[in-house]
Structure 1
Amino acid sequence: MSTDQPPFRDPRLPARERADDLLGRLTLDERVAMLHQFAPAVERLGLPAFRTGQEALHGVAWMGPATVFPQAVGLGATWNDDLVRRVGEAVGREVRAMRARDPRVGLNVWAPTVNLLRHPLWGRNEEGYSEDPHLTAAIATAYTRGLRGDHPTRWRTAPVLKHWLSHNNETDRDTSSASVRPRVLHEYELPAFRGPVRAGAVAGVMPAYNLVNGRPNHLSPLLSEQLRTWCDHDLVVCSDAGAPSNLADSQAYFADHEEATAAALRAGVDSFTDHGEDSSVITARVRGALDRGLLEEADVDAAVRRLLAMRCALGDLDPEPGPQDDAAFDTAGHRALAREAAEQAVVLLKNDGLLPLAEGVRVAVVGLLADECKLDWYSGALLHRSTPLDGLRERFGADRVTFAEGADRVRLRCPGGWLTDPGTGPGKDGDGTGDPAAAGALDPALLRGRTDLPPLEVRAEPAAGGEFALVDWGGGVLTLRAECGRYLSVADDGFLRASADQPGGWIVQETFELRPHGEGYLLWHRGTGRYLTVAADGARVAADGEEGAVFAVETVERGEDAVRAAAEDADVVVVVAGNDPHINGRETEDRTTLALPPQQDRLWRAAREANPRTALVLTSAYPYAVGDADAALPALLWTAHGGQAAGAALAAVLAGDVPPGGRLPQTWYASDADLPGLLDYDVIGSRTTYLYFDGTPLYPFGHGLSYTSFSYGGLTASHDGRTLTVRCTVANTGEQTGDEVVQLYVRAVETAGPDLPRPHRALAGHRRIRLAPGASREVEFAVPLSEALGFWDVAHGRWTVAPGTYGVDVGASSTDLRAGATVRVGGEAPGPRPVGSIRAADYDEQRGTALVDLGRERGDAVAPAGEEEAELVFRDCGFGSGTASVTVEAAREEPGEAVVVLRAGDGAPVHLTVPSTGDRYAYTTVRAALPEPPEGTGDLRVTLRGSLRLARLGFGDPSSAESS
């Protein structure tokens, strides 16, 4: 390279050194400008514009056509780290290829989502990999390694993990607080992030909208205390969209935006995603904070340095192309990989011999998703498209496969006649001409919102265009599809048209509700929150003060009847049910039930009634409770929405061309009654996920069947104090080639120390292998002993492996364990809990409490979660030879008093009164003498009565005791 280039242009220098050089050349205004997502160019230095943020969850999203891989939860279901690494590599190369022709495509990719799938009603379940931290970390590490590439210093893309931290609800997502106690934090939440960060393939994280323990995630002290200690390169923190403004707006955590922006920057946020492409608002807030002394230039420099180091690693400042600028787009390899990923994501839930399908069989493929290839909010537009119907027809022959969708065919009568689509009749594509097959490949955004198509109108008599396919997606949420194949949608002008290829968009304009009114219904449009009305110029949403039209629904054909007719005339029926990823469970919207929508429940029942040889395929972004189907049908399968090759992949598995080998990445519960509260993040206390669930799931974590059988033998387990080594031999004892996912679980059997709740078993390793009939393979796992067997010891504030006996099991799922052994771990047993000063947040058990922020910047306190009294329990406290006083540190914002009641061991309760301190962060110390000083070791119970925040408590010397 030329010797006259400044150091920041020299790719031979370390990224930090280059960033420091460039930082010193920038003015303060130029540095401040770089804090916004859309950093402007600096022409005097030849710096290009740069933006953080390119969605790439399972392919390049939002930038037009790209290879679409299975949803993230489907990639998790493969349990195949190598496959997912190859998917990440393909996505990274497509990012590079798309950027070469469109500079708006960013190299800082916001993917993957590593939030744990703690609760299956989370609307964004499709975005995560698993409910288990080990599996999530392993799959995320694989994907980010592919995105990043293998070069030691040059990054193909810069992955950012979403969403830090404990984000698993859409309901009130910007104002709700997750109460996360230390054991859940260290044993469950942090490991999912720590694994990929330590692997060196992560450029940064994005904080979540919600609060954790009362403090917004964009102010999380764990960004510096934990995250940035896990690797030796500079991690960038990119805010979520609009979240910086939430700090002073919806969260009201600060009085003004300058104070909020300064606090976020000091906490470690580097890039502010706020106010779209308009950076002036954020830069003005930063300058205002500097002027007020809320920030120093060093705070700005720290953030900009990290951003510049990332840009240097990406080659953004290099004078010439370099390694990992390799670009590839829609190659034969990418297409084959998309199909392989979709095949490996299919999970066989049940099979009583119906599958695989025999050659020459006559198949009826039915159901609302039988001829669909659904996308989600983070999908790219389809380059290729394969539905289950497509796949089965290609595999078995079009003459051997029949189809019935199962939607109800209806007419809508209103004042003056029948609602009719006048624009197109059957068999026409998006603009009224041409090949109808082409319409399926269109980006939905090309049609949604069109105003050049004629609005629906009212005709006196039923006519062509007056029949609609009605689908009830559950909860009364409907879509209506016209005879031309497009969905009814409302554009910005308020008129109703058949203009959408699929439901979609940030605000879905294709969903409706029929609300009873008199002898008919009002048709409510969910996107605008208005009723539909009809007038001479066409159907539209009603204006303010205008009444909606009353509709009568005439059913032309029931979906069950069409399904029943198709099923009767087939050898085998494949019912394809599931969800539309834009409806009833998505970003901004949690689900309300595990139940399959009633319309789809009726369809599989109708199919089985007509033909017992019926298989149910659930194509969905999340689990369902389908106990009746499991009991009634001979075969069930699940796959997440599988991307562009979904249909061909499913057909290959149904035919036995590809062995089913996917495994469930989360528990499928039997009913809603098995679920904790949506906002209950305490997996230990609520006894949830496979780690703690005490009930019987419908399908357990790790479950998945095969068309062959496997045996396990020769298990050995040992450790050298650092590494747990487990070996076993797995053999294919069946007659077909098959995939087995060998799963290693560990559990505490008998350990020293306090009797604390530990997981029933925890995944410590996994390996997907393919074996021919009669073949066998030795599988070896080598896992860090401390990570596998340890727990967070709240009594001493450290990670601990208690001495004792541990079980080591291998098998095909968390409940199908085929071989086991035990190992013993020596060492010193944890001692009793010191009682001189106990953090209230370090409890062992609780009832009716919530963790809250001790102060705005750091620390946790405990408060009653409601009006009722609350309780904390601290086990195995070492009171020694007797302590004569107790101290409580607490705050009470409201007027009046609160009471803390302590009972140590078998002693009498002691009441301490906490006066009003006038501020939730103003703590006072209250002391009291103990009439019966506790001795030895015992439990401490603390009852909270009234509104207060408890920070600490402790037992001390009698000379310091004062009654209060």
Structure 2
Amino acid sequence: MAHDAPSLEALVDDLLARLGDAECVALLHQANPAMPDHGLGAFHTGAEALHGVAWLGTATVFPQPVGMAAAWDADLLREIGDAVGTELRAKRAADPERVSLNCWAPVVNPLRHPLWGRGEEGSSEDPHVTAWCGEAYAAGLRGDDATVWKTVPTLKHLLAYNNETDRCTSSSSLPPRVLHEYDLPPFLGPLASGAAGGIMAAYNLVNGRPAHTSAELYEAVRAAQPDLLAVSDAYAPTNLTGAERAYATDAESHAAAIRAGLDSFTDRDADSSHTVAAITAALEQGLLDVADVRRAARRVLLARARTGEFTPDADPYAHITADDIDTPAHRDLARRAATAQVTVLENRGLLPLRAGSTLAVVGPLATVVKHDWYSGTPPYMVSAADAAGEAHPVTAHDGADRLRLRSRTTGLTLTRAADGALVADQPGDDVVAVTDRGHDMLTLADDATGLLWRGSDDGMVHVDATRPEGWVTHQVFARHVHDDGSWSLQHRGSRRWVRVEAWGGLASSTAEDLAAAERFDVEVVSSGAEEVARAAAGADAVLMVVGNDPHINGRETTDRPSLDLPDAQRRLVEAALAANPATALIVISSYPYTLGDLADRAGAVVWSSHAGQELGHALLDVLDGRAEPAGRLPQTWWADAKHAGDLFDYDIIDARMTWWYSPHTPRYPLGHGLTYGRVEYRDISLPNGLAGPAVVRVANEGDRPAHELVQVYAASTDDRIGRRLLGHQRVVLAPGEEATVPVELHPARLRTWTAARGLDLPATTWRIVAASSAGMAGPSLELTTAPATPDAPLPLPLVAWHAPDWSGVVGVAVDHVRGTAYRARSGAGRLGWPSVEPLPARLAMRLRVTTGLGGDVEIRCGGASVLGTPEQERRGEWHDVVVDCPAPGATSLEVRLTGTVELAEIRQEN
């Protein structure tokens, strides 16, 4: 913009002053109407750009975010974000009416639990690594111009969203330490740096309150960026009066959301009438002030202004055209990005592969490249088998069983008709390729064409799908094996069974139960396990390529059923290993697996995310040694699924979950990944203390270059403080080279939250370790920290949620607007204050009982105790229960909660 041009804020304020109240209301739905009298075109929020432009046709597809994070390279992530931002601009240049520059990415929810169905969308289990990755990717999307943004990145999902099961009605219980130390930092980092300009609220509740109406959450992120745009998740506003039953009317719910801090309602697609009517009713009923509406409208307009919409002559990105998609530079970047995230987990001398060796490339992911829900449409795809064939003689097999399925109704084999219908109406010997995805999920394909069976809402079964896809994955079926060996098949999307019409032989998924389902006699043409073993036996080495399809067994709306590799895939791996010990287990997945003894027996284990169009080239670049392995795990791979903890327990401190607190030794820790060199960690020093940098001495004892990620960790002697990653630095070591590596430290990551001080360094002793992973095997030293202000006894009132010590409790909402109380998680919980000002003779407890048979609150101090019981006739109301302090003058306090009683605070009774 010219030096004398008004600021974007001034332009927006001028425009806002000219808009009527009804026009401001219209701006609060995701589909903004055109307002030609004010020079405003139509606009809508939201373009998906998680790892490339999605749902808008051909675009470069980069690795999934969890894969990008495995590169541990902020410059690379920034470059990817810049390319995606360019391609989104290119899409808008071709179709400005359809394409928004309000970009819904990145996802910055830390990967607390590996069963989360959307784990592929996040970056890391560590919140600070997540913030670092999110900031880098968002900075690329935003662009470098000081005024005009290439896109406006919107961070998903505020907050504590890590489960798909009951996601719209489950409540994530967060003590304040978990909130401020774990869940908020990934949002605050990108916002404070100016890399992102918006947030999307999460579907779930937080401490019993819908995230969409939680004023305290909006206030927390707006402390980092006051003018950020807050959008709802799709259809979430409907949940406020629907599944969540938090409000009686839409007017009440929409008013509450706007007052809390929500600006834009993503509801009912392009139909804004419901949203406009609800907000208008809220104004008419006095539930909402016009000032609230105008404040939200201003933030919507500012997000639009940031894209250059109101200053087209000053748009530095106006030169981008539709030709700036799938450029040679973006193809090169896709290959570099995919290669950088390939992670070698085990290597027993098998890798790198011998040049020209014969390979068996086998398994369900050997010959395909998988999409996820938020993938774009790649211009091309290179599978592992494709890439291996460029440098090796290759035998490939997908591991599927080949069968003929004969209908008992017609006596004929199922076949694909000319129109794509599934029929059993004429003699034939068509073969079906059956892939067992685990957990009672199959995909079935016509072997001649490779096309998948696809159920549909109308009951027809078509044979026309190129891959599993869709909000409902209609390409998945379940199998019931009868006592006589015959099969019946169920379409998983509709839960109806396949039947065959006696007249005409048409197959459809219209049978309501198993009794009405068709029975199919099964003829085995070939066994996938036998074919894998045959290919493996005839090869110098085997690439056994397993993993998940991102539309099956874990995705948006569906959590993973298990961390284990599906049994069918395990049988394929067993077959390969039995036939040829020189088998590399290649895991291409959205998330970690528990691999057990398979990892012990394989010649190598390698992981990649679903890395996009260049997946195959990336794998073979690393496996063949053209590229040195550089990927490192951004999350823990547990040895046992139980070690991951409860999917629904967000209190990682009390539950001792994640690598920060877990007492369990993982199979592969965060940061793990091998090089083809052999790196030794020899020494660490802190010449400037935590002000850094740490000085780490490392050496490559191997005969190949080592691309090492030097990591520095801190482990407290207090297990309630746990472990942290203090810093990391990449270094390339030549064979035989020793180097002294400076590692920038981030001491703010060691801070813990208290009610008195907020975030501050704790009083504790740390072991500072230089290591190749969070397994923390390396040289170390000790260091002590202390808070800037010494701890002082806490005065009354004591807020229950702020208790320095707690166990067995969950957060509940004090009211619809703000405030958190505690109740026992499973009938018994404890709160503790180790240092308080001398207690008075009389105490008042703020209590409530809303469900169950009530309970008690026991106060313990000075070796004595007293019970407080809520008044049953005041069920559902907060009220005071006054008790005599069992030890007046005591300076510590413990509270025991039983039943369903809720405690908000303890104060002096005057």
- Give the TM bin, normalised by the shorter chain: over 0.9
**Aligned residue for 1:467?**
431
**Aligned residue for 1:200?**
194
Structure 2 letter corresponding to 1:791: T
Note the alpha carbon deviations across 1:448-481, whole angstroms, 9 max, x for none: xxxxx331111464x24x2111111111111101
**Aligned residue for 1:953?**
906
Please show how residues 182-331 of structure 1 align to structure 2 within 5 Å: 182-231=176-225, 234-320=227-313, 322-327=315-320, 328-331=324-327
**Aligned residue for 2:843?**
886
In 2, distance between residues paired with 1:331 and 1:360?
Answer: 32
In 1, distance between residues paired with 2:520 and 2:289?
Answer: 64
Q: Say yes or no: does 1:865 pair with 2:830.
A: no
**Aligned residue for 1:148?**
142
Structure 2 letter corresponding to 1:892: V
Post-superposition offset of 1:918: 4.0
Please show how residues 902-913 of structure 1 align to structure 2 within 5 Å: 902-907=859-864, 909-913=865-869
Post-superposition offset of 1:539: 0.8
Post-superposition offset of 1:11: 9.4
In 2, distance between residues paired with 1:351 and 1:121?
Answer: 27
The alignment-based identity, stated in percent, is 42
Counterpart of 1:923 (choices 847, 857, 878) is: 878
Going from structure 1 to structure 2, the CA distance change for 1:797 and 1:42 (only over 3 Å counts) comes to same
Structure 2 letter corresponding to 1:948: V
**Aligned residue for 2:102?**
108
Post-superposition offset of 1:551: 2.2
**Secondary structure, counterpart of 1:382 in structure 2:** coil
Contact 1:669 1:699 in 2 (8 A): yes
Counterpart of 2:382 (choices 379, 386, 389) is: 386
**Secondary structure, counterpart of 1:185 in structure 2:** helix
In 2, distance between residues paired with 1:495 and 1:784?
Answer: 58
In 2, distance between residues paired with 1:279 and 1:930?
Answer: 57
Structure 1 letter corresponding to 2:823: A
Contact 1:11 1:315 in 2 (8 A): no
**Secondary structure, counterpart of 1:674 in structure 2:** helix
**Aligned residue for 2:621?**
652
**Secondary structure, counterpart of 2:614 in structure 1:** helix
Q: Say yes or no: does 1:565 pair with 2:534.
A: yes
**Aligned residue for 1:793?**
754
In 2, distance between residues paired with 1:404 and 1:572?
Answer: 14
**Secondary structure, counterpart of 2:651 in structure 1:** coil
Contact 2:852 2:899 in 1 (8 A): no
Please show how residues 398-547 of structure 1 align to structure 2 within 5 Å: 400-414=393-407, 415-423=409-417, 453-459=419-425, 461=427, 463-464=428-429, 466-483=430-447, 484-517=449-482, 519=484, 520-535=486-501, 536-537=503-504, 538-542=506-510, 547=516
In 2, distance between residues paired with 1:11 and 1:586?
Answer: 50
**Aligned residue for 1:24?**
17
Contact 2:537 2:579 in 1 (8 A): yes
**Aligned residue for 1:435?**
none
Structure 1 letter corresponding to 2:904: A
Contact 1:123 1:589 in 2 (8 A): yes
Structure 2 letter corresponding to 1:320: D
Counterpart of 2:728 (choices 760, 766, 780) is: 766
Number of aligned positions between the proteins: 900
**Secondary structure, counterpart of 1:411 in structure 2:** strand
Contact 2:713 2:768 in 1 (8 A): yes
Note the alpha carbon deviations across 1:850-884, whole angstroms, 9 max, x for none: 11001110010112334x3x12131413353x642
Counterpart of 2:720 (choices 757, 768, 771) is: 757
Contact 2:654 2:808 in 1 (8 A): no
Note the alpha carbon deviations across 1:235-291, whole angstroms, 9 max, x for none: 000100000111011100000111001110111111110001101110111111111
Contact 2:66 2:590 in 1 (8 A): yes
Post-superposition offset of 1:708: 0.4
TM-score, with length taken from structure 2: 0.95
**Secondary structure, counterpart of 2:129 in structure 1:** helix
Post-superposition offset of 1:893: 3.5
**Secondary structure, counterpart of 1:494 in structure 2:** coil
**Aligned residue for 2:603?**
634
In 1, distance between residues paired with 2:853 and 2:464?
Answer: 61
In 2, distance between residues paired with 1:95 and 1:18?
Answer: 25
Q: Say yes or no: does 1:813 pair with 2:779.
A: no
In 2, distance between residues paired with 1:844 and 1:827?
Answer: 15
Going from structure 1 to structure 2, the CA distance change for 1:821 and 1:609 (only over 3 Å counts) comes to same
Q: Say yes or no: does 1:350 pair with 2:316.
A: no
Post-superposition offset of 1:849: 2.5
In 1, distance between residues paired with 2:625 and 2:726?
Answer: 31
**Secondary structure, counterpart of 1:533 in structure 2:** strand
In 2, distance between residues paired with 1:663 and 1:917?
Answer: 58
**Secondary structure, counterpart of 1:44 in structure 2:** helix
Contact 2:862 2:887 in 1 (8 A): no
In 1, distance between residues paired with 2:687 and 2:832?
Answer: 34
Contact 1:901 1:910 in 2 (8 A): yes
Going from structure 1 to structure 2, the CA distance change for 1:806 and 1:246 (only over 3 Å counts) comes to same
Post-superposition offset of 1:188: 0.7
Contact 2:259 2:292 in 1 (8 A): yes
Going from structure 1 to structure 2, the CA distance change for 1:135 and 1:894 (only over 3 Å counts) comes to closer
Counterpart of 1:15 (choices 8, 11, 17) is: 8
Post-superposition offset of 1:71: 0.5
**Secondary structure, counterpart of 1:308 in structure 2:** helix
Going from structure 1 to structure 2, the CA distance change for 1:469 and 1:64 (only over 3 Å counts) comes to same
Post-superposition offset of 1:15: 1.6
Structure 2 letter corresponding to 1:906: G
Contact 2:709 2:729 in 1 (8 A): yes
Bigger shift: residues 798-807 or 369-378: 798-807
**Secondary structure, counterpart of 2:325 in structure 1:** coil
Structure 2 letter corresponding to 1:581: P
Post-superposition offset of 1:821: 2.9
Post-superposition offset of 1:714: 5.4
Post-superposition offset of 1:848: 3.8
Going from structure 1 to structure 2, the CA distance change for 1:540 and 1:772 (only over 3 Å counts) comes to same
Contact 1:891 1:917 in 2 (8 A): no
**Secondary structure, counterpart of 2:693 in structure 1:** strand
Going from structure 1 to structure 2, the CA distance change for 1:60 and 1:305 (only over 3 Å counts) comes to same
**Secondary structure, counterpart of 2:241 in structure 1:** coil
Going from structure 1 to structure 2, the CA distance change for 1:834 and 1:706 (only over 3 Å counts) comes to same
Post-superposition offset of 1:733: 3.4
In 1, distance between residues paired with 2:678 and 2:898?
Answer: 59
Going from structure 1 to structure 2, the CA distance change for 1:729 and 1:637 (only over 3 Å counts) comes to same
In 2, distance between residues paired with 1:153 and 1:222?
Answer: 29
Post-superposition offset of 1:807: 2.9
In 1, distance between residues paired with 2:808 and 2:761?
Answer: 30
Counterpart of 1:851 (choices 811, 823, 833) is: 811
Contact 1:895 1:916 in 2 (8 A): no
Counterpart of 1:738 (choices 688, 701, 706) is: 706
Structure 1 letter corresponding to 2:885: L
Post-superposition offset of 1:946: 3.2
Contact 1:11 1:318 in 2 (8 A): no
Contact 1:66 1:382 in 2 (8 A): yes
In 2, distance between residues paired with 1:33 and 1:687?
Answer: 47
Unpaired runs of 5+ residues, structure 1, are 3-9, 425-452, 750-754
**Aligned residue for 1:445?**
none
**Secondary structure, counterpart of 2:189 in structure 1:** helix
**Secondary structure, counterpart of 1:818 in structure 2:** coil
Q: Say yes or no: does 1:914 pair with 2:870.
A: yes
**Aligned residue for 2:114?**
120
In 1, distance between residues paired with 2:311 and 2:61?
Answer: 31
